[in-house]
Amino acid sequence: MLNKDIKIKTICQTIKSRISDINKFYRHGPDLYFYKRVFHLRQSTNITDFLNIDYNIEILYATLVSWDMNTRGAKMKYYDEFKTCLIENLENFKIIEILGNNRLNNKSILLSKLGEIYDNLNFMRTNGRLVSNSKVLHFLFPKFLMPMDRSNTLYFFYNNTNESKSKYLEIMDICLEIMGIRYNWNRHLDNKWNVTVPKMIDNAILLLVGKSIKKTTVHNTAYK
């Protein structure tokens, strides 16, 4: 981890000063539509009821496709295998939901459970789990788990794109730490890309790194 305290401070400053920029400079289309769709479906029910409906899982699957999980060398497993993996981990998801709803008092236990379930989740035919796992877990628990990728998230924190379970847990630890800071993060929420605090943290990283947005219109803040 490179300069953890500086990274946290920079993310917080970006959220407070210009997080709304993500809606002007980040991509729009199917990826935003399906993201908002799965978010609204998920927030209206608990994890058990959500995964008991095939339509919800299909939307989740479609959201991953729209988020480039089946392009540029990444290959997702067939839908039936994807669904089976989710259902087989339902009991773990139920525990994560309980822990996450009281995350300030259960941070270490939540991280331990995430580490346990990380190895059980396998949604890809290609190598690598951090990106697909983090995105699925974010879609399932959008209010306290954040999505990650290699070119933005890992590069921002580690200056490389090599993934591992330990990196996922370190980044999630930081996400939970930021969420626990005494500040009204909800004041920056909107009905586009900034729908939850974990996604705002991800969006701040996107703005800071600038690889996935229109660089010609964004003035990046130095973070190194």
Residue 70 has pLDDT above 90, yes or no: no
Residue 50 lies in a domain: yes
Say if CB 212 and CB 26 are below 8 A apart.
Answer: yes
Residue 111 lies in a domain: yes
Total structural domains within the chain: 1
Residue 222 has pLDDT above 70, yes or no: no
The mean pLDDT of 36-52, rounded to a whole number, is 95
Residue 17 has pLDDT above 70, yes or no: yes
Sign of CA dihedral 65, 69, 72, 73: negative
Residue 96 lies in a domain: yes
Residue 113 lies in a domain: yes
Q: Which of 7-11, 45-49, 216-220 has the lowest average pLDDT?
A: 216-220
Residue span of the structural domain in which 157 resides: 4-217
What would the pLDDT profile of 116-149 be if each residue is shown by its tens digit? 999 999 998 887 899 999 999 999 999 999 999 9
Residue 222 lies in a domain: no
Residue 108 has pLDDT above 90, yes or no: yes
Residue 134 lies in a domain: yes
Phi (first) and psi of residue 103, to 5 degrees: -65, -30
Residue 223 lies in a domain: no
pLDDT bin (cut points 50, 70, 90) of residue 2 is low
Residue 31 lies in a domain: yes
Q: Write down the pLDDT at residue 26.
A: 87
